[in-house]
Structure formats: C-alpha cells, structure tokens
Amino acid sequence: MPQPSLIRTAFDATSTAGDVVAGLDLVGIRAVVTGATSGLGRETARALASVGADVTLAVRDTALGASVADDISASTGNRAVRIAHLELADLATVTRFADSWDGPLHLLINNAGVMRPTLGRTPQGWELQFATNHLGHFALALGLHDALAAGANQRGAARIVAVTSGAHMYSPVVFDDLHFTRRAYDPQLAYGQSKTANSLFAVEATRRWAADGIVANAVNPGGVSTGLQRDFTQDMKDHLDRLEAAGVFAYKTVSQGAATTLVAATAPEFAHNGGHYLDDGNEAATVPDDVDLTGNSHAVKRWARDDATAQQLWKVSADLVRQR
C-alpha cells in the first residue's frame, strides 16, 4: 500500500555518485568506509573524497588498500585518504580498529560484505555471512559509538549507513538457528538473513542513539556487478539471470549503485532521520512479509523494519560479540 509520508529526494535510479555529491563541501567531515578496495565501497570513498572529506578505507588487504587510496588521492586531489586494517569476521581486528580511532567520526559506511556459495564458519562457529555482514559491522559501530557521538556534537549530526540488499526478502532473522547448525545450509537464505539484519540494525541503532545525534539508515544499492559475485556458482548466476529477465531488477553501474549510499550519507533529508530503508535514492515502501520479490524489489519487508525484532537482534548480537 502506498505510504504518502515516505521521504523523497531529488535522486532516482539513474542518479550517480557524482550527482549526489555535486556542490557539496565535506571538508572537515571524517568518514570510514568498509570494504573500500573495489566496487561500491571504492566508488563511495572516491565520491566522498572528491568533495573534501577525510576518508579512511577500512580494508582486509592493506597493500591493495594503499594502492586504492593513492588512486583516489590522485584522481580527486584529496590527500586525506588513508587506510586501516579491518577483517570483519575477526572481531580482534574490529576491536583494534575501534580502539585506535582518534577523535570524532561523522560518517560510518558499513559497506563491506560477503556472499558465499558454501557454508563457512568463524572460529566461534558463527555462519560466515551473518558474522561478516552483520556481527562485524555491529561490533564496529559499538566500538565507534563515542567517536560518532563526538562527531555529532561537533557537527550537529553523525550518520551510519548500512548497505543491505533486496535479498533481505528471502529470509527473516531466524533466531533459533542463526548459524545453520540444525537446518540445511542455503546460501541465499544465509545472505538474505544477514541483509535483513543490516536493516534491523539501522532501526535499533537510531532508536538507541538518536539522542546522541547519531542516526542510521539502510540502503539497497540495487543490481550492481561487483566482486561480491566472484564466488557465485552457476546456479546462483542463473538465478540472477532469471530475475533480470523477469524484470525484478536492471543492472546499474557502480556509480549508480553507490548513489543511494551517498544519499543516506549526505542528503539533508536524512541528516536527522534514521531507521529507514532507502532504494533508488529514496525511502522505500514497506510491504507484508508474505509478498514475493517479483513486483516488490524496490520495497522492504516488514520483518526488516520491525521494532521488536530489531531490539531482539541487538540483544542477541551484543551477547554474541561479548562472548567472543
């Protein structure tokens, strides 16, 4: 059902990263972008640097990260592009990253992600997609809360952007078997669960932290061909081909895919509004949990927006990262 109060911006599916940041001056803004060595993360970091932001690339491969940082600096003229090591599936590196951060932080872009065709586990036994895409970013945000609060105090607001996916429609968060210890592993369900968790994080982070000046929003970049798909099986590739043929999505360029992230990060409409799910540069409509992805690919299911579920996920996630 149409929701007339949805937040609208000047941007749409055709907008690029450059369109969103055009005319902005982000000098003095400090940003962290996870997974910034390729794809959406690299383009997001480049766009932020192009308008003066001080950008830290939080990356697994620091040698590659240094090369990307040099490239961004050369193309934008901004020397305030640096790297730091971060492996989201290894919470020790998350803790080191957060503990080493000095001073205020204004933008946290939780962009990194994995999509695995086979079951992987962390040393704790956590399913790898949920551990990387949600728990690592959850722990990172907790560790950087005080820096974000300082950033909000300095500039009036701080923002977290959680990159999710239309794949959230495949699965809610299955609390009684988060890590596929009893049910058969299905990579699509595992990825979908992690993307639902990203959206729920934005809901609860905003509820808890808005009083500190921190808001979080989830963004669906749409269909973009990136390194995320490097390990796809032929069945997974065929599934995407069927969805594209059915009109569920149309591929965007990387710059178009990064645009919605940058809307959540910089557009005035979301400076103090959090807990939303954005698609094609605007807030998406919420649809019932039983609808199919076909015909609803630009919407968000209720299970990814539910307040009580978001609170439950926060508690479960906090318990897990404390027990590591």
Active-site residue set:
191
- Distance of alpha carbon 215 from alpha carbon 195, whole angstroms: 18
Strand, helix or coil at 308?
A: helix
Instruction: Output the six-digit token pair for 18.
Output: 């450059």
Cβ contact 23:47 at 8 Å: no
Beta carbons within 8 Å of 262's beta carbon, 6+ residues apart: 17, 20, 21, 44, 47, 48
Tally of residues, the chain: 324
Question: What is d(CA 218, CA 115) in angstroms, rounded to the nearest whole number?
Answer: 18
β-pair type (54-59, 30-34): parallel
* DSSP one-letter code for 9: -
Radius of gyration of the chain (CA): 18
- The CA–CA distances, whole Å, from 213 to 102, 269, 272, 273 equal 19, 15, 8, 10
Instruction: From 166, 34, 50, 43, select the one nearest 105 (Cα to Cα).
Output: 34
Q: Where are the alpha helices (DSSP H) in 213-253?
A: 234-245
